Amino acid sequence: MPTSTLDQAYDPEEFRKLGHLLIDQLADHLEENIKMNVKTMPWSPPEDMYSKVSSDLWMQETDLTDFVLRHSIRLHNPGYIGHQISPTLPIAALASLTSALLNNGGAVFEMGMTATSLERKLIELYADRIGYDIPTSTGFLTSGGTLANLTAMLAARRNKGHKDVWISGGQHTKMAVMVSEQAHYCIDRAARIMGLGEKGIIKIPVTKQFSVDNEAIGPLYDKAISEGYEVIAIVGSACSTSTGSYDDLEYMSSFAAEKNLWFHVDGAHGGAVIFSEKYKPLVKGIATADSVVIDCHKMMMSPSIITALVYKNEGTAYHNFSPEAEYLFDSVEAREWYNLGKRTFECTKEMMSLKVYTIIHHYGTEILTEYVDTLYDKAKSFSEILKDDDSFELACEPMANIVCFRFLQPNDQNVNNQLQLSIRKALLEEGTYYIVQTKLNGRIYLRCTVMNPFTTADQFMDLLAKIKTIASSLYGSR
Ligand SMILES: *Cc1c(COP(=O)(O)O)cnc(C)c1O
């Protein structure tokens, strides 16, 4: 009997069959990566890739999953040492499937009872590791570090601003936030979205280690005040994106306390050290922050994008988006932890908590400790290898799992930026390793983030050998 397309598409047996096939394909893909006999990056330039999709995939009988797998960068390949996205823990990918099927991710409790309650448990875990008092702190999971940082900056303004811009609009206000010149660009963007403008972002210069220069904070603050700005917040990077440098959170915290500023910690990348006894000292002082952001898709092996935003005082979180008069929100009834939409930017969201919790449920928080420690340790050993080789120069000592370095041509210390760019491009096209690049003090550096716990010292050495070969062929062909 002919059935409708809808009948067929919702048929559980069809799902079962396709699901088993899919899992087999994905498991084979994971296996190939471990064997390292496939390239990390099957590079196609944008126009070529678009043509392939147009001719080989779009409305063709092509196996869609096979096509996607063949033409995607492989984060599970140990040759992946590029941007700071986790090779997803396979079990968390399975949780994503459950989330996608159930679609229980509501702003209101009824639409996501389990996910909402799990989210509260997870936030309590974060709060505990940060050093907050659990009963008075709060938080939620949200769609990425960028949105989480914007949400925290909005909370800073709502809770510290002299004028309630949420009600009155931003006309005739001169507010500013202070942040490292090495901070992720999303802080700058958040400030501009809030209407603070270019002058509303006070960029603090950094030391040789690319951490905020504490000495510079006071004078910059005084200057802003003398120019009529109301400084509402100071943001610490834990760590910075380019070089993985941690700011001195203790110093920033005491400065914030002295001037009555909101103290926010952008721990999108490196906040996960709260799960590591060994590396936790890097975020000394974090417990005094008014808000902390930690990405789960970076150092916690979760699928993208899931970010925790944790507040020291729950009142500030509820106050952030409350349209009604202040007195309403001091009432206990209004602080409904179970209706997440009161505090989140999003209305609908995914069942994010399920994905993060699945990891902890299966492997305990120990796996997070092991992941952070392994990656940070490996970056240190990689930097030792670089130090032992005269052909390379480190940008700074790695504090996290991010290593920036440049190739030095023998007898020519004045190596140009173009050479680093050409090396990077050649590596991209060759595909065995995937690394990225960054600019520091006007100089281009090659940049590696050790994200895969299975990348070995031999592979670091092989990468450096490849770079030398590429460099000499580039020089030779001049
Ligand atoms: C990655 C990163 C962000 C942005 O987070 P997304 O999840 O990519 O939006 C913000 N701050 C820092 C320090 C980061 O490393």
Query: What are 360-394's pLDDT values in tens digits?
Result: 999 999 999 999 999 999 999 999 999 999 999 99
Q: How far is the CA of 64 from the centre of ligand 1 (A)?
A: 30
Residues with C-beta less than 6 Å from any ligand 1 atom: 84, 144-146, 149, 184, 186, 237, 241, 266, 268-269, 295, 305, 307
Instruction: Please give the structure tokens belonging to residue 35.
Output: 């064997």
Q: Which atom of ligand 1 is nearest to the CA of 183?
A: 13
Query: What is the pLDDT, as a whole number, of residue 35?
Result: 77
* Strongest mean pLDDT among 57-61, 164-168, 401-405: 401-405
Residues in the chain: 478
Taking residues 229-248, what's their average pLDDT? 98
In whole numbers, what is the pLDDT of the chain averaged over residues? 93
Amino acid at 234: I
Q: Residue 328 pLDDT > 50, yes or no?
A: no
Query: What is the pLDDT, as a whole number, of residue 187?
Result: 95
Q: How far is residue 339 from each of residues 105, 116, 306, 391, 431, measured CA to CA in Å?
A: 11, 8, 18, 57, 46
The more confident residue out of 133 and 320 is: 133
Q: Which atom of ligand 1 is nearest to the CA of 307?
A: 7
What is the C-alpha separation between 4 and 12, in angstroms, rounded?
A: 15
R_g (Cα) of the chain, nearest Å: 24
Q: Residue 1 pLDDT > 80, yes or no?
A: no
Taking residues 140-163, what's their average pLDDT? 96
What is the C-alpha separation between 238 and 224, in angstroms, rounded?
A: 24
Q: How far is residue 443 from each of residues 242, 393, 404, 407, 413, measured CA to CA in Å?
A: 13, 12, 11, 12, 13
Query: What is the pLDDT, as a whole number, of residue 120?
Result: 97
- Range with the lowest mean pLDDT among 120-124, 187-191, 294-298, 409-413? 409-413
Parallel, antiparallel or unpaired: strands 402-407 and 392-394? antiparallel
Which of 184, 243, 307 maximizes ligand 1 atoms within 8 Å of its Cβ, making it the mutation to test the pocket?
A: 184
Query: What is the pLDDT, as a whole number, of residue 329?
Result: 41
Q: Which atom of ligand 1 is nearest to the CA of 186?
A: 10
Residue 325's pLDDT band, with cuts at 50, 70 and 90, is very low
Q: How far is the CA of 285 from the centre of ligand 1 (A)?
A: 21
The more confident residue out of 78 and 332 is: 78
Backbone φ and ψ for 234, nearest 5 degrees, come out as: -125, 135
Q: How far is the CA of 24 from the centre of ligand 1 (A)?
A: 33
Which of 286, 297, 298 maximizes ligand 1 atoms within 8 Å of its Cβ, making it the mutation to test the pocket?
A: 298
Query: What is the pLDDT, as a whole number, of residue 415?
Result: 66
Say what percent of the chain tops pLDDT 90. Answer: 84
Q: Which pTM does this prediction carry?
A: 0.95
CA quadruple 145, 151, 154, 159: dihedral positive or negative? negative
Q: How far is the CA of 179 from the centre of ligand 1 (A)?
A: 14
Per-residue H/E/C for the chain: CCCCHHHHHCCHHHHHHHHHHHHHHHHHHHHHHHHCCCCCCCCCCHHHHHHHHHHHHCCCCCCHHHHHHHCCCCCCCCCECCCCCCCCCHHHHHHHHHHHHHCCCCCCHHHCHHHHHHHHHHHHHHHHHHCCCCCCCEEEEECCHHHHHHHHHHHHHHHHCCCCHHHHCCCCCCEEEEEECCCCHHHHHHHHHCCCCHHHEEEECECCCCCECHHHHHHHHHHHHHCCCEEEEEEEECCCCCCCCCCCHHHHHHHHHHHCCEEEEECCCHHHHHHCCCCHHHHCCHHHCCEEEEEHHHHCCCCCCCEEEEECCHHHHHHHCCCCCHHHHCCHHHCCCCCHHHCCCCCCCCCHHHHHHHHHHHHCCHHHHHHHHHHHHHHHHHHHHHHCCCCEEECCCCCCCEEEEEECECCECCCCHHHHHHHHHHHHHHCCCECEEEEECCEEEEEEECCCCCCCHHHHHHHHHHHHHHHHHHHHCC
Residue nearest to atom 6 of ligand 1 (CA): 145
Query: What is the pLDDT, as a whole number, of residue 332?
Result: 44
- DSSP-assigned beta bridge partners for residue 266: 237, 293
Q: How far is the CA of 253 from the centre of ligand 1 (A)?
A: 21
Q: Residue 330 pLDDT > 60, yes or no?
A: no
Q: Residue 334 pLDDT > 90, yes or no?
A: no
Which of 186, 206, 273, 356 maximizes ligand 1 atoms within 8 Å of its Cβ, making it the mutation to test the pocket?
A: 186
Residue nearest to atom 3 of ligand 1 (CA): 145
What is the C-alpha separation between 32 and 34, in angstroms, rounded?
A: 6
Q: How far is the CA of 195 from the centre of ligand 1 (A)?
A: 21
Q: Which atom of ligand 1 is nearest to the CA of 304?
A: 7
pLDDT tens profile 445-475: 999 999 999 999 999 999 999 999 999 998 7
Q: Residue 315 pLDDT > 80, yes or no?
A: yes
Q: How far is the CA of 269 from the centre of ligand 1 (A)?
A: 6
Q: Residue 12 pLDDT > 50, yes or no?
A: yes
Q: Residue 333 pLDDT > 60, yes or no?
A: no
Q: How far is residue 89 from each of residues 40, 141, 219, 300, measured CA to CA in Å?
A: 17, 18, 46, 9
Q: Taking the CA of residue 213 as centre, how many other CA atoms within 13 Å lie in the half-sphere pointing to its CB?
A: 11
Amino acid at 204: I
Q: How far is the CA of 146 from the centre of ligand 1 (A)?
A: 6
Amino acid at 106: G
Which of 153, 295, 346 maximizes ligand 1 atoms within 8 Å of its Cβ, making it the mutation to test the pocket?
A: 295
Q: How far is the CA of 300 from the centre of ligand 1 (A)?
A: 13
Taking residues 422-426, what's their average pLDDT? 96
Say what percent of the chain tops pLDDT 70. Answer: 95
Q: Which atom of ligand 1 is nearest to the CA of 238?
A: 13
- Calculate ∠ Cα 233-345-342, nearest 5°: 100
